[in-house]
Amino acid sequence: MTSSAVASSIVTTGARLPPLPTIRDLVRLYKLRAIKQLSQNFLMDERLTNKIVRAAGNISDSHVLEVGPGPGGITRSIIKKCPRHLVVVEKDRRFLPTLELLSEASSSSLRMDIVRGDILEYRTENAFPDCPRYDWHDKRAPVHLIGNLPFAISTRLLINWLRDISLKMGAWSYGRASLTLTFQKEVAERIVAPILAENRCRLSVMNQIWSRAELKFMIPGKAFVPKPDVDVGVVSIIPLKTPLTSIHFDVVEKVVRHIFSMRQKYCRRGVANLYPPPLREELTNLTFRLADVDPLARSFQLSTEECLRIAGAYEKLVRSNPEIEYYNYRAQKNKDEDL
């Protein structure tokens, strides 16, 4: 069966998708295969794609941005929930025919835009021109980001989006948009890890400062094609009305990254690398005195509030010692190694 024959046989009825080839059939029809270098894994089971979309809550009459739809498994489940406007961002041109098939089949019930591009470069603030702006402290905006994320860029994407949340830009220029995303199991568990958990890390703290993250459920790796080496966790992330700090995201991220850079050592070891050698001992001691935090604690033993107090102390010291703001421990280390 050709793609034109499939498309011509489709008759859209109301808000329901007409009978379409299964995702597995479409993968065969268009001779699609996952590319390992792009961290591609297809989810073929409609029960699981429906479950992911249900985890996003009520998306009816909402604006939805799907990241990396691939052949369109989750896309179908989104369409069945009748959003007002669906934008899918897909980097791989091989999937465009299957996505165009879905767009044509659902054209009478919703607007679906297909963007071929890299989600890392896509300007999400331009996704929904007809969506009004909602007051951040009022109800959540009817905007949802949903996606089966490529493992290779999932952490980078999440940090980028948390930054946008903190600055109320990108998709969060519309208001408190929610995210429902897949991550490899260990990353999903890190995102929600509480204080004292072995897997508590930078992602845990950064998420807890600006959002409420919840691990909804796990999907066994065998449900994907090809099967990844790990299971997958579905995480829901909702921005907080009032974040736990007013310190700029970049400052907090820098400090928290240093705090967790030496997990098995005292936290002062990582914090010390914020400062150049001539000032390191003095400013490190001063940081912990100002923050009222035990310098001999391990990073995973620190509460989110203690991490923020360290960030606040660092910010204060930068104001009185501007020369330390752009110090880069790793750059200095690489320079020393070249000597």
Pick the last residue of a domain from 187, 216, 239: 239
Same domain, 185 and 317: no
> Which residues have C-beta within 8 Å of that of residue 338, sequence separation ≥ 6?
none
Residue at 202 is within a domain: yes
How far is the C-alpha of 216 from the C-alpha of 174, rounded, in Å? 25
Query: The pTM is what?
Result: 0.88
Same domain, 171 and 258: no
Same domain, 67 and 152: yes
Give mean pLDDT, residues 277-302. Answer: 97
Same domain, 323 and 235: no
Give yes or no for residue 39 having a pLDDT over 60.
Answer: no
Same domain, 142 and 253: no
Q: What is the DSSP letter of 219?
A: E
Torsion of CA 40, 43, 48, 49, to 10 degrees: 80
Residue at 69 is within a domain: yes
Same domain, 219 and 301: no
Residue 333: pLDDT band with limits 50, 70, 90: low
127-131, 225-229, 266-270, 304-308: least confident range: 225-229
Give yes or no for residue 117 having a pLDDT over 50.
Answer: yes
Residue at 82 is within a domain: yes
Instruction: Report the domain count for the chain.
Output: 2
Residue 252: pLDDT band with limits 50, 70, 90: very high
**Residue 255's closest CA among 222, 217, 302, 219?**
302
Which range has highest mean pLDDT (87-96, 241-250, 320-329)? 241-250
Pick the last residue of a domain from 239, 258, 281: 239
Same domain, 82 and 173: yes
Give yes or no for residue 225 having a pLDDT over 80.
Answer: no
Same domain, 211 and 134: yes
Question: In which domain, by residue range, is 255 found?
Answer: 249-338
Q: Give the rounded percent of residues in the chain with a pLDDT score beyond 90.
A: 75
Residue at 216 is within a domain: yes
The CATH number of the domain holding residue 209 is 3.40.50.150
Same domain, 184 and 46: yes
Same domain, 230 and 253: no
Same domain, 226 and 334: no
Backbone angles phi and psi of 129, in degrees to 5: -65, -20
Residue at 244 is within a domain: no
Residues 244/209, Cβ–Cβ less than 8 Å: yes
Q: What is the pLDDT of residues 70-81, one digit of tens each?
A: 889 999 999 999
Give yes or no for residue 40 having a pLDDT over 80.
Answer: no
How far is the C-alpha of 227 from the C-alpha of 221, rounded, in Å? 5
Residue at 133 is within a domain: yes
The CATH number of the domain holding residue 292 is 1.10.8.100
Pick the last residue of a domain from 221, 239, 257: 239
pLDDT of residue 20: 53
How far is the C-alpha of 107 from the C-alpha of 104, rounded, in Å? 5
* Residue 181, beta-bridge partner list: 147, 235
Give yes or no for residue 236 having a pLDDT over 60.
Answer: yes
Residues 136/96, Cβ–Cβ less than 8 Å: no
Residue at 177 is within a domain: yes
Same domain, 84 and 233: yes
How far is the C-alpha of 90 from the C-alpha of 70, rounded, in Å? 7
Residue at 31 is within a domain: yes
